[in-house]
């Protein structure tokens, strides 16, 4: 898989180097399909069209399919003008392949440096030049709880991993699904995040996500896989191949007690009322760590004059502070622009904003290099769906990083 990705990047790079004019379809390739994601995209679309742009989009069910399509389209000579994605490892791959457009012609006069936190601004530059526009900062490690299920089973919200593990068999004995999880590697990866944080907190999590083989404590990582594996018996048989939104429905309908998922899940609970009543969201209760990833838009390198103008207009639209804040409110997450008034947000987003002021912030695997992200997801899903030992999982993860 890693070789396939590298081959696609290399082929696309050669095409860009040897083709005088690369013309895009002037569309936005994305995988924003949930209710809140569509609402956020609608905010950006309204601003873009108000500035005179013509909106075109190509939607995919997940990040992997969107990325694969973009690379194939680049090779075919008709790339999208913009790619929505997490801005981390994927961005780095496109940067190093020479596939991204220098957007300083917009970023400098609009002073993006003053609009963004310094670390975030640096993360979307290549050799000192802006090549992407960050629009959101997601805190990924949320634990969602159906409070009615907990009340029915006499279980209190857990504040530690030990309390969590004690609660699960009680919920199962009462006839509910203790832990909702779907059957996709990235969902299993998010569940693993919480087991990893339970064992080593931010320090171990950051070492693993850096892919720093030498600094990762094998014993601690083995312990994390043990903790992760202990969760299997508290899931349901219907998890195989199930999407995250279908899994979330188990929570909304009162069939399951807990669900670990990113902020995009929160809008599904609107029918249950305000957060804190029939449902609640909490950042991993047993750790102060916040696993974060920035998301936004990468600008694909093109030569056609009209495409370049469309990209510039799109960049102006999505980097407008008021537009970002409105989109973030619709999405249920934090905007990338700084100096945001926390009173503009509520519920889970307000909690995330407050936690970021005092918590240990670490980059999530979805914002790391593709090698780390793929190694983690591949290892976690192989372990979760087989009889693989924790020791073998640790060895497999480290081997995948080589």
CATH label of the domain that carries residue 240: 3.40.190.10
Mean pLDDT of the region 296-322: 95
CA quadruple 36, 53, 64, 390: dihedral sign:
negative
Query: What percentage of the chain reaches a pLDDT higher than 70?
Result: 94
Please write the tens of the pLDDT for every residue from 327-336: 999 988 999 9
pLDDT value for 17:
46
Quick one: pLDDT band at residue 54, thresholds 50, 70, 90? very high
Tally of structural domains, the chain: 2
pTM to 2 decimals?
0.79
- Is there a domain that residue 358 lies in? no
Please write the tens of the pLDDT for every residue from 352-398: 988 887 888 888 998 888 889 999 999 999 999 999 999 999 999 99
pLDDT value for 11:
46
Task: Indicate the residue among 327, 349, 371 that finishes a domain.
Answer: 349
Q: Are residues 222 and 119 in the same domain?
A: no
Q: Are residues 247 and 176 in the same domain?
A: yes
Block residue for tokens 């009173």: 343
8 and 71 Cβ atoms separated by less than 8 Å: yes
Q: Give yes or no for residue 3 having a pLDDT over 50.
A: no
- Is there a domain that residue 133 lies in? yes
Q: Give yes or no for residue 135 having a pLDDT over 70.
A: yes
67 and 90 Cβ atoms separated by less than 8 Å: yes
- Is there a domain that residue 357 lies in? no
Q: Are residues 96 and 15 in the same domain?
A: yes
Q: Are residues 57 and 101 in the same domain?
A: yes
Please write the tens of the pLDDT for every residue from 103-134: 999 999 999 999 998 878 988 999 999 999 99
331 and 136 Cβ atoms separated by less than 8 Å: yes
What's CA 311's distance to the chain center, in Å? Answer: 24
Query: What percentage of the chain reaches a pLDDT higher than 90?
Result: 72
- Is there a domain that residue 311 lies in? yes
Q: Are residues 254 and 175 in the same domain?
A: yes
What domain range is 378 assigned to?
142-291+363-400
**CA 340, CA 325: separation in Å to the nearest integer?**
8
Please write the tens of the pLDDT for every residue from 10-36: 545 544 444 445 777 789 999 998 888
* C-beta neighbour count of 60 within 10 angstroms: 18
Separation in Å, CA 387 to CA 9, 55, 229, 309: 35, 49, 10, 54
Q: Are residues 273 and 157 in the same domain?
A: yes
Q: Are residues 174 and 80 in the same domain?
A: no
pLDDT value for 89:
74
302 and 79 Cβ atoms separated by less than 8 Å: yes
Task: Say whether 297 sits in a helix, a strand or coil.
Answer: strand
Q: Are residues 329 and 286 in the same domain?
A: no
- Is there a domain that residue 356 lies in? no
Block residue for tokens 């997940």: 62
């Amino acid at each position: 898989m890693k070789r396939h990705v590298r081959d696609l990047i290399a082929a696309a790079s050669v095409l860009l180097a040897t083709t005088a004019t690369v013309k895009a379809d002037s569309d936005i390739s994305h995988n924003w399909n949930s209710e809140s994601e569509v609402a956020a995209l609608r905010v950006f679309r309204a601003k873009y069209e108000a500035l005179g742009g013509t909106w075109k989009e190509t939607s995919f069910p997940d990040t992997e399919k969107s990325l694969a399509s973009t690379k194939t389209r680049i090779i075919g000579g008709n790339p999208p003008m913009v790619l929505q994605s997490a801005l981390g490892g994927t961005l780095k791959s496109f940067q190093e392949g020479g596939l991204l457009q220098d957007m300083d012609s917009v970023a400098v006069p609009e002073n993006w440096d003053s609009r963004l936190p310094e670390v975030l601004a640096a993360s979307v530059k290549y050799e000192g030049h802006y090549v992407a526009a960050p629009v959101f900062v997601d805190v990924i490690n949320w634990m969602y709880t159906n409070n009615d299920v907990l009340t029915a089973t006499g279980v209190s919200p857990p504040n530690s991993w030990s309390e969590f593990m004690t609660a699960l068999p009680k919920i199962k004995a009462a006839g509910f699904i203790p832990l909702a999880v779907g059957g996709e590697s990235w969902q299993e990866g998010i569940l693993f995040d919480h087991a990893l944080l339970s064992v080593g907190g931010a320090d171990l999590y950051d070492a693993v996500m850096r892919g720093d083989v030498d600094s990762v404590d094998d014993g601690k990582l083995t312990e994390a896989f043990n903790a992760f594996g202990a969760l299997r018996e508290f899931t349901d048989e219907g998890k195989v191949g199930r999407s995250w939104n279908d899994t979330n429905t188990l929570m909304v309908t009162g069939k399951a007690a807990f669900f670990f998922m990113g902020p995009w899940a929160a809008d599904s609970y609107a029918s249950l009322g305000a957060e804190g009543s029939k449902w609640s969201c909490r950042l991993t209760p047993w750790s102060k760590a916040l696993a974060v990833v920035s998301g936004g838009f990468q600008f694909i390198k093109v030569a056609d004059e009209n495409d370049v103008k469309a990209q510039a207009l799109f960049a102006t639209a999505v980097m407008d502070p008021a537009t970002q804040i409105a989109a973030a409110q619709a999405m249920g997450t934090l905007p990338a622009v700084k100096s945001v008034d926390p009173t503009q947000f509520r519920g889970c987003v307000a909690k995330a904003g407050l936690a970021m002021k005092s918590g240990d912030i670490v980059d999530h695997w979805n914002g790391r290099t593709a090698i780390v992200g793929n190694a983690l997801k591949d290892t976690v899903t192989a372990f979760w769906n087989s009889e693989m030992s924790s020791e073998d999982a640790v060895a497999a993860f480290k081997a995948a990083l080589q």
